[in-house]
């Protein structure tokens, strides 16, 4: 399992943004328009609904960093304001995980609601213990005003 420590920066894969999603059952990367997960046959008809968002928000508390990271990325793709505070809290709960913190900043950047987005960025810029995360959040927050 050395890969967990070597490839630290997660790059979103080749599926076009807006059409990518993670299967809420097995967390495989899938096309958001697929009705059934090709990896685990999970029914994805409800993927666009509130249930899926709640599942992603719950996954932010998952003990495995890899699962959290996928949820963070997926919530960024969705851009819903409801996720902003949960994303920021997730980063603050794992202060030594810089990769996670930076990914949270990137996902918060994808939040559509400007006020919600800026509040979350400012919270990270002021309160995250990691300097790299604070600086990136402050940078985006400044660009945003």
Q: Contacting Zn ion (CB under 5 A), which of 12, 29, 42, 134?
A: 42
The DSSP code sequence of 64-124 is SHHHHHHHHHHHHHHT-GGGHHHHHHHHHHSTT-HHHHHHHHHHHHT-S-HHHHHHHHHHH
Q: Contacting Zn ion (CB under 5 A), which of 18, 19, 31, 40?
A: 40
Residue 67 binds Zn ion, judged by CB under 5 A? no
Q: Contacting Zn ion (CB under 5 A), which of 7, 8, 19, 26?
A: 26
Residue 39 binds Zn ion, judged by CB under 5 A? yes
Residue 124 binds Zn ion, judged by CB under 5 A? no
Measured CA to CA in angstroms, residue 45 lies from 34, 49, 63, 81, 84 at distances of: 8, 9, 27, 23, 25
Q: Which stretch binds Zn ion (CB under 5 A): 31-39, 56-64, 106-114, 122-130?
A: 31-39
**Interface size with Zn ion, residues (CB under 5 A):** 8
Residue 37 binds Zn ion, judged by CB under 5 A? yes
Structure token digits, residue 75:
């919530």
Q: How far is the CB of 79 from Zn ion (least distance, A)?
A: 23
Asked whether the beta carbons of 44 and 30 are under 8 A apart, the reply is yes
Nearer to Zn ion, 45 or 96 (CB): 45
- Residues in contact with Zn ion by CB under 5 A are 23, 25-26, 28, 37, 39-40, 42
């Amino acid at each position: 399992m050395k890969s967990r420590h070597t490839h630290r920066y997660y790059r979103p894969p080749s599926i076009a943004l807006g059409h990518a999603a993670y299967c809420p059952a097995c967390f495989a990367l899938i096309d958001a328009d697929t009705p059934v997960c090709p990896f685990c046959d999970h029914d994805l008809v409800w993927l666009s609904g509130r249930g899926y968002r709640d599942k992603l928000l719950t996954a932010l508390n998952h003990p495995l960093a890899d699962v959290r990271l996928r949820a963070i990325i997926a919530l960024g793709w969705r851009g819903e304001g409801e996720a902003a505070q949960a994303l920021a809290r997730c980063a603050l709960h794992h202060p030594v995980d810089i990769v996670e913190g930076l990914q949270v900043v990137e996902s918060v950047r994808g939040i559509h609601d400007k006020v919600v987005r800026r509040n979350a960025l400012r919270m990270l810029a002021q309160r995250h213990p990691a300097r790299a995360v604070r600086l990136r959040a402050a940078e985006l927050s400044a660009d945003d005003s």
